[in-house]
Amino acid sequence: MHYETITVRRIAGALGAEIEGVDLSRVLAEETLGEIRRALLDHQVIFFHDQHLTPEQHIAFGRRFGALNIHDFVAGMAEYPEIIEVRKEPEDRVNFGGDWHTDVSYLECPALGSILYAKEVPAYGGDTLFASQYMAYETLSDGMKRMLGGLRAVHTASHIYGRRAGYFRDGGSMRVSHRAEAESETVHPVVRTHPETGRKALYVNRGFTVRFDGMTAEESAPLLSYLFEHAVRPEFTCRFRWENGSIAFWDNRCVQHYALNDYHGQRRLMHRVTINGDRPV
């Protein structure tokens, strides 16, 4: 793909590209913003280095792509509720996002994308993995595609943010609440057609998908387990090494991600905004 205002360099075969030649702290011209959006659609996750954003600038950049999400169960910053501080202190053992998932897929209108900005990274570790759900779908057999095309799946936040969930009850530094509202369920197609690219993507994830609609959890488990493993095969992934001032912007409609928890005893602080989807799946 040819770009006029930015430089785009692929980093892996499946997905991912680094973007150069743009300062996200500035108010971007429509042409530049359009090319960033096209790069996101082309590469599914895009990365920027050496950025220096105030919270206001981070929010402003996110809003160029849509309204921002206020998380139901994770408190945002006091003055900037749109920004979640993804924080792990040296004494913490659990990290936020430490399993394969798609952000807030339990919502009726799941997120368009997320923009994560590195404020303080450990000397080693703390990378993030991303997996293309286009490839996860496209590499399935024709028979499996036909079967999945008629299925819908139940998504819920209950086992992470519900009243009986154990996530972050060990004194971690994230401000997570466990409430009855997390017990609610939403049903989405197992195969999602991307509203902008028209490509089909697998849309189940270990973090929030619990069963197929109309089936029990026990009946659903064998096929869901296979899909969870298939969706994140190594050849579908890229791995990003963070630096202070790095930004990752991923498309939640076709990407899963996984924050590695391999830096115990070190501090990691990130700021995240999430862009709302504009329609149900």
User: Among 218, 248, 19, which Cα is nearest to 126's?
Assistant: 248
- 101 classed as catalytic: yes
Is residue 178 annotated as part of the catalytic site, yes or no?
Answer: no
Of 71, 211, 268, 272, catalytic: 272
Distance CA 249, CA 252 (A): 9
* Helices (H), ranges, the chain: 30-43, 55-63, 133-138, 142-149, 158-161, 217-231
Per the annotation, the verdict on 23 as an active-site residue is no
Question: Cα–Cα–Cα angle for 47, 32, 36, nearest 5°?
Answer: 35
Residues 6+ positions from 222 with CB-CB distance below 8 Å: none
Contacts of 153 (CB under 8 A, 6+ apart): 187, 188, 189, 190, 203, 204, 209, 211, 212, 213, 220, 224
Q: Could you say which DSSP state residue 173 is in?
A: S
Active-site residue among 43, 58, 103, 206? 103
Q: How far apart are CA 212 and CA 193, in angstroms?
A: 18
Active-site residue 64, yes or no?
no
Catalytic option among 192, 206, 211, 257: 257
Tokens of 31: 């042409």
Torsion of CA 8, 99, 107, 84, to 10 degrees: -70
CA distance 172 to 246: 24
Marked catalytic residue, from 71, 101, 206, 268: 101
Residues annotated as catalytic are 101, 103, 257, 272
